[in-house]
Structure 1
Amino acid sequence: MRIDGCPPGLAAKNNGCLPPGQARKWIGQRAPAALATSLLPVAYRSWYPDNGDYLYREQDGLIYRVARSTNLVDGYAPLFGYGPDYYPDYYPAGEAYPSDYVSFYNVPLPYQRYYTDAGNDLYRYGDGGIYQVDRSTGLVDSIVALLAGDLSMGQPLPPGYDVYNVPYQYRDRYADSADEWYRYNDGYIYQVDPKTRLITAVIEALV
C-alpha cells in the first residue's frame, strides 16, 4: 500500500518521498572516507560490480557510484530489499518518477544492454523495478522489469504489469492479443491469460 502517494521504501525515510538530502550534497563531491569501506550487500554486487572506472558503495539506503579517477560521487540509486515472495509497491504508469533519481542512469549492469536511454525514453532503477520514464514529462510510461524474484507458471501477474513491456527486439514475436499477453521480467518473457492474469508459459530467456 502506498503511503501518502509514496512507495514504502521511500516513505520510511520520512523525507518527502525523495532520497536523503545527503545524497544530493554528495553528488560532485569527493567520496567521504566512511563510504570507502561501506560495501554493497551481497545480493547487489552482481548488479553493481566494481570495475576499472567505478566503485559502488552503500550508505543510508542508497547505492553510490564513485569515479576511481577522481574519487568523486557522480550518481546513486535506491537500495531496496527483495526476495522470491516480496513485491514492493511500484510507481504506476502515469505517475511522476522521483526527480532525484531521473538525473542519473542507474540500471543494474545485467540489464543495461536491454535498457539504454534513447530518444524520449529514459530507463531508471528504483525499489526493485526498472522503469521507462518520459524524458520530457518525467512521468513513468511503464514498469519494464521487476527484479524481485522469479515468476512461474500458474502464478498471478504481479501488480503494475498492465503496460506491455517486452523489449523492442522481441515485440514482433511476442505481441499482445485478445487471448494472450506477453510481459517481460528479469530476463524472461511470460505469456499471460488476460482474463485470469495467470502466467501460462515461460517462453524465452533473454539473459
Structure 2
Amino acid sequence: MKPGGPRRLTPEREAELYTAVLDLLREVGYGSLTMDAVATRTRCSKATLYRQWTGKPQLVAKALRHQKPVTLAGIDTGSLPGDLDAAATRLNPLRLERDAALFRGLAQAAHADPDLFRALRELLVVPELTGLATLLQRAVERGELPADTPAVPYVPHALLGLMVAHQLLEDGPVGPEFVRNYVDAVVLPALGV
C-alpha cells in the first residue's frame, strides 16, 4: 500500500459489503438504495465506501459481479457442446429465483441511469461476452465451427433472450436442464454443430 493511498479491504470484508448491498437492493430497490444506507448496514464510513468505489453504480455492479449466478471464465471442456453444458451446470436455480426481481429492477434502473448502465455493462456484460467469444473462437480453432458461421454474432442474444423470455413465459427462473435442452435444440443447430 502506498502511504496516504486508500487501504484495501480484506476479501472477507469486501464479501460482507457486497452481500449487504445485494440484501439492501432486494429490500428497497436501486432507486432507494443510498450510500448512507450501505454505510449504516455495513458499519462502514461513507468515506471508506467512496475510496473503494466511485459511487453507487460501481458498488452495485461490483456486488453483482462478486456474487453472480454463473460465469463462463475458465470453462474449457474441449468441445463447444461440452462448454455450453458446463455453463448450464453452473446455474443455480434457487439463486436465480431469488435474484429474478433484483435483475428486473436493475435492468429498468439502468435505462434511466447511464452510470449504472455503463457499470453493469463494463463489469457484468462485457466479461461474459468476452468469455462467450472465447468459447466460440476455440470451437472455430478446433474445427467444430466454421469461422464464417452466420449465427455466431447472435449467440449472446439467443442466450440472454432465453433468460428473459423464460421468466416471462414460464413465470420462473430458468434451470440447468432447460438451458441444456435449449442449447441442444436452438443454439447448436443454428451454429451447425
When Rg is computed on C-alpha atoms for both structures, the one with the higher figure is 2
The interval holding the TM-score normalised by the smaller chain is 0.3 to 0.5
Q: Which has the higher strand share?
A: 1
Q: TM-score, normalised by structure 2?
A: 0.32
Which is richer in helix?
2
Identify the structure with bigger relative contact order (alpha carbons < 8 Å, sequence gap 6+): 2
Q: What is the TM-score with the length of structure 1 in the denominator?
A: 0.31
